[in-house]
Amino acid sequence: MKVILSPEASAALAANQPVVALESTIIAHGMAYPANVETALAVEQVVREHGAVPATIAVIGGKLKAGLSRGEIERFGREGPGIMKVSVRDLPFVAGRALDGATTVAATMRIAAMAGIPIFATGGMGGVHRGAGETFDVSADLTEMTHSNVGLVTAGAKAILDLPLTLERLETDGVPVIGYRTGEFPAFYSRSSGLKVPMRADSAAEVADIMRSKWELDLPGAVIVANPIPEEDEIPASEIEPVIVAALAEAQRLGIFGKDVTPFLLGEIVKATKGRSLRANIALVKNNAKVAAEIAVAFARG
């Protein structure tokens, strides 16, 4: 099955112009309406302002699409959780049943790679969940990173996860983790996690060179660009950690698990922080879009 590109994204790829993939789960499941639509459109605008073409990815009527119209983004925002959250394992189902699907990081990476889009900006990637030693709850995002040749710009892994184990798993799988102008792995809302990254790059051109070298060496899979939230927007780990612990306890009490955990926890954290975490989330997504566009421009130059 081919990916249906928007005319703008198709023309850009044909001309070797920079394109940045964006996910749709953040629209349908990451934020409430209308903040989700406003953020999605603002993120696309950030990509444009920094020289690249945005291509928000989703499944619509069973068709894999890269580059949504404003009307499609609006509908995904309005219908929200009524639209299926789709990871890679779910793609055959939504395609075979001609359904709509909001793509996770894993599914967005797969479709971006299929479409020939080498750069993807998200908020925070999935990873190893806390308590995974008992639940075996590990995000499919990590598995997909061993398959799809995509540079993933992310504010680290979501702070609700077990960050040390996430980094261990990435090391085991041979996925490069590059700190973008930092020696630490960022923790989503927070710039610092206390965990070192194995490598660092200080410019978009350096990242583009690393991505190109990886794939020229016939080493398949993603390159993670760990980009900290802007300092003025962060919530220090010491402040957000007790909120996360309380939200995790509530999820356990209610029996929420699997792919329903993340949107539940993010919603609980928004309530507990009186919207501060949402503002931080929006800021870091925009920042990631900016960096992704700059890397896309450098990568397209060759």
Among 65, 158, 214, 290, the one annotated catalytic: 158
Look up 85 and say whether it is catalytic: no
Of 106, 112, 90, residue with least CA distance to 140: 106
Instruction: Give the number of C-alpha atoms closer than 13 A to the C-alpha of residue 280, restricted to the C-beta side.
Output: 27
CA pair distance 123, 264, nearest whole angstrom: 16
CA pair distance 208, 296, nearest whole angstrom: 8
52, 117 contact by CB (below 8 A): no
By CB atoms closer than 10 A (0-12, 13-18, 19+), residue 275 is exposed
Among 23, 72, 144, 294, the one annotated catalytic: 23
Output the CA torsion sign for 205, 208, 213, 216.
negative
* SS3 (DSSP) at 104: coil
Q: Tell me which residues are annotated as active site.
A: 23, 158
